Amino acid sequence: MNIKIIGVGKLKEKYLKLGIAEYSKRLQRFCKFEIVEVSDEKAPEKLSDAEMNEVKIREGKRILDHIKEREYVYTLEILGKERTSEELAKEIANLTTYGHSDITFVIGGSLGLSKEVIKRADAHISFGKFTLPHQLMRLVLTEQIYRANMINAGSTYHK
């Protein structure tokens, strides 16, 4: 199984890098795991709707360049479907059982995802209605992927 996270922007905070590194190391026993960073667009604080859309389109093209046709893609979106850790674990297990061994999670930039990326997704996932920094979301998602694998392995980590 191959699991990839595509995130917009470079991770800067050391504590986030350390946390992600720890869970990435733990995930090695379950899958090939990688994080792909695509550059974000430099944009002023105040943008028109058209300018915001253009930023998302440019970031979206960079994201789509890293997605292969065979990959099962989850986009992280506030309006996506909320899942429990157990539900995500079951989905991942079912995907791999039925031939989807390449799973990709996409975290957009501060303005969100382009329509093209959302359309490419096979599923949309939400971690709730909270607004979280997209860089922190990488750590949360990496931990949840690890947790899902531990659940599927029958470990007590989840308790």
Binding positions for S-adenosyl-L-methionine are 76, 108
Q: 100 near 159, Cβ under 8 Å?
A: no
Paired tokens of 55: 């930023």
Binding-site residues, in ranges, read 76, 108
What is the helix (H) or strand (E) element at residue 66, kind and residue range? Answer: none
Q: How many CB atoms lie within 10 A of CB 8?
A: 26
- Cα–Cα dist 141/5, whole Å: 9
Report residue 73: phi and psi, to 5°.
-115, 125
CA gap 78, 80 in Å, rounded: 6
Only one residue has tokens 């002023």, namely 44
